[in-house]
Amino acid sequence: MTQVATTTDHFGARLARAVAERGPLCVGIDPHPGLLDAWGLTSDADGVERFARTVVEALAAQVAVLKPQSAFFERFGSRGIAVLERVIRDARAAGALVLNDVKRGDIGSTVDGYAAAYLDPASPLCGDAMTASPYLGFGSLAPLIATAREHGNGVFVLALTSNPEGPQVQHAVAADGRTVAQTILDSVADANAGYDPYGPVGVVVGATVGDTGHDLSRVGGPFLAPGLGAQGGTADDLRAVFGDARRAVLPSVSREVLRAGPGVSALRSAAARAADEFRTVLA
């Protein structure tokens, strides 16, 4: 049976408030080697810490969502994870929602562990939401969704990604005639039933996928739209891809804003320009 939220503090409500107050923008915290070098930082845990803490200082009190990419922290082992823990804590303390970009997906006790790590406030890695892969079957994500509901957090499920390899799986046709991506979109809609304005389960749909013919109208949750800026997507692409569903879109940018650093004021200006551009298109 679908659990219906009875509090205004569930993830969908908190995201809607953050977007209304701060504008429709998610900024990735992606300390990959090229950006570290561009900022004059060393490619080690110290460089990652300086990079990530600068982004938090600049943007956590300004943008709706910050999205640390876990892989760039994990590559430095325990020191990198310690930096990620601090980034999550400091960003949330400054008022930003934190979306952990971890793209986890597994079964049984393993997915239970991921749920506890990223969605349970008892964990130092808990943010407000996480990304997940449904390609072991949407039902495999049930522990993530249950934990998100319990603690008022969210899960963004990969659905229509903009990487060239994605359509091989996502556009494949299932036995009932729907594409794999459409079965995921429909399952997300069922999981979000009864929530207002959005349910706890969002979907990831790339800004550059074009008109794929999929029905995005009844998802009932937010859309995370990567692929903008440096990856080629534009604000106008959001209108083309999402149509009337675009008011639920959370545009996600990384290099488009981050390359303005390392100056704090320059990062803030770049983020403000992006939010204003997207606000116009998504209204």
User: Annotated active-site positions, please?
Assistant: 103
How many C-beta neighbours within 10 Å does residue 108 have?
Answer: 9
Q: Report the candidate in 18, 24, 23 with the shortest Cα–Cα distance to residue 238.
A: 24
Judge contact between 195 and 222, C-beta under 8 A. Answer: no
